[in-house]
């Protein structure tokens, strides 16, 4: 009921009553009601919610109408009114804007997604420089696995590779900074640096009881792409990354394979941290007919879902025997290619469990000097399996014998692939 309707009804009732004998009492009552109404109205106008009390906050919007922000504003006010630094040497008060950044970071952390993170001004500037400029560092891909900073793969020939860093190594410290609860991108910032400088990594490795340290001298990183080798009647293609030039180099490697007259192929994706999705799509197209699903991108808004299909190069016949080698350093685009060719019955997977990096991130500018890297989609194999759900399990699990490999180059995983192809 509106106020206007309410007063209209009251007026009608008043007209039905003889008020002459109650005149004095009514005047007093009306006066009392008027006073109460005025006081209530005035209080209502003067009352402010916890949110409204924060005069320093601008651009407030109620984007999430189904979320009660009362607890947030109350906590904000409590901090404003009561907090005092316990460190007597602290002279600089944390700015309101810095606390807003902290709140955003906390919200993002609550998602428990290692690939979604907020970059305040300084970190945002560094991140943009890293993805657009020349890379100087130790040459390895890192990520968070089971809440531990983990080496996805060192780049072949890079300083980390030469120093003995291996895929699957857990990074416990970077110099004197403990990496526990440290976002992967923050750790990368510490690991990278100018050519000629060194960084000390404290690592934990399966099979070695105690943590150990490796000192790595940084350098300019040159990304290798493709190597080829002939092992008897088997042609081996080693693919180290999915860069912009990878599809052309892969095509050249396949041409070598065809010209060799062989029909047995090993595609080695071990230690390959991935790269461009389009590169994986192009490579898969050499083995699949037109229209076959390679990978699907599954978004929150299902209307945005996208399916990447084979371009149908499909130059190989049924006589092709293909094995793909994977390990804990095989991630992202490597898992897309391996998963697609396995599920379409083109290849068998040999080696160890892949990393399980099957998601898509977008960099969104929040302000002119801050940004948010947010996971916007997940990759699904042709059969609808999420790559992020533990990675790919090989058809034939084979552990690399590290000691034998160090001693004389014996590659137990490759040897197993050669053995299967000989059957």
- Determine phi and psi for 158, rounding to 5 degrees: -80, 165
Q: Which of 296, 310, 330, 332 is catalytic?
A: 332
d(CA 50, CA 77): 8
Asked if 260 and 239 touch (Cβ cutoff 8 Å), the reply is no
Active site residue 195: no
Beta strand ranges found along 76-233 (DSSP E): 117-119, 136-137, 140-145, 148-154, 170-174, 177-178, 198-204, 212-217, 219-220, 226-231
The size of the chain, in residues, is: 423
Which among 337, 323, 341, 340 has a CA at the least distance from the CA of 417?
A: 323
C-alpha distances out from residue 293 to 223, 226, 338, Å: 29, 25, 13
Which among 337, 222, 338 has a CA at the least distance from the CA of 279?
A: 337
Q: Which of 343, 354, 373, 388 is catalytic?
A: 343
Active site residue 348: no
Active site residue 357: yes
- Determine phi and psi for 22, rounding to 5 degrees: -115, 20
Q: Token pair for residue 223?
A: 């990304």
Q: Which of 173, 264, 292, 357 is catalytic?
A: 357
Catalytic residues: 332, 343, 357
């Amino acid at each position: 009921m509106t106020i206007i309707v309410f007063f209209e009804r009251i007026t009608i009732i008043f007209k039905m009553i003889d008020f002459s004998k109650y005149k004095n009492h009514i005047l007093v009552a009306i006066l009392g009601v008027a006073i109460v109404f005025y006081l209530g109205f005035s209080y209502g106008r003067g009352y402010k919610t916890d949110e409204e009390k924060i005069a320093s906050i601008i651009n407030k919007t109620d984007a999430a109408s189904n979320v009660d922000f009362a607890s947030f504003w109350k906590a904000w006010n409590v901090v404003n009114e009561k907090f005092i630094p316990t460190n007597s040497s602290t002279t600089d008060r944390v700015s309101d804007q810095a606390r807003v950044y902290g709140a955003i970071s906390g919200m993002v952390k609550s998602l428990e997604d290692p690939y979604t993170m907020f970059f305040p001004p300084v970190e945002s500037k560094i991140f943009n420089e890293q993805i657009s400029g020349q890379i100087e560092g130790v040459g390895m891909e890192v990520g968070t696995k089971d809440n531990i900073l983990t080496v996805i793969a060192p780049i072949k020939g890079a300083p980390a590779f030469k120093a003995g860093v291996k895929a699957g190594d857990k990074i416990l410290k970077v110099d004197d900074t403990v990496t526990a609860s440290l976002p992967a991108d923050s750790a990368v910032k510490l690991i990278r640096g100018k050519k000629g400088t060194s960084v000390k990594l404290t690592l934990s490795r399966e099979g070695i009881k105690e943590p150990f340290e490796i000192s790595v001298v940084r350098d300019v990183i040159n990304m290798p792409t493709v190597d080829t080798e002939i092992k008897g009647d088997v042609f081996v293609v080693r693919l180290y990354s999915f860069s912009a030039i990878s599809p052309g180099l892969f095509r050249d490697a396949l041409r070598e394979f065809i010209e060799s007259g062989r029909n047995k192929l090993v595609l080695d994706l071990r230690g390959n941290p991935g790269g461009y999705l389009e590169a994986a799509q192009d490579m898969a197209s050499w083995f699949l007919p037109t229209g076959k699903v390679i990978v699907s991108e599954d978004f929150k808004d299902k209307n945005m879902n996208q399916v990447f299909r084979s371009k149908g190069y499909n130059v190989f016949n049924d006589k092709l025997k293909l094995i793909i080698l994977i390990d804990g350093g095989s991630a992202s685009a490597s898992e897309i290619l391996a998963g697609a060719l396995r599920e379409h019955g083109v290849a068998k997977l040999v080696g160890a469990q892949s990393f399980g990096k099957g998601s898509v991130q977008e960099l969104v500018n929040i302000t002119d000097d801050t940004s948010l890297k947010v996971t916007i989609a997940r990759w699904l194999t042709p059969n609808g399996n999420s790559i992020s759900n533990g990675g790919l399990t090989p058809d034939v699990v084979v552990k690399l014998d590290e000691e034998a490999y160090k001693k004389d180059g014996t590659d137990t995983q490759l040897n197993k692939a050669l053995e299967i192809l000989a059957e």
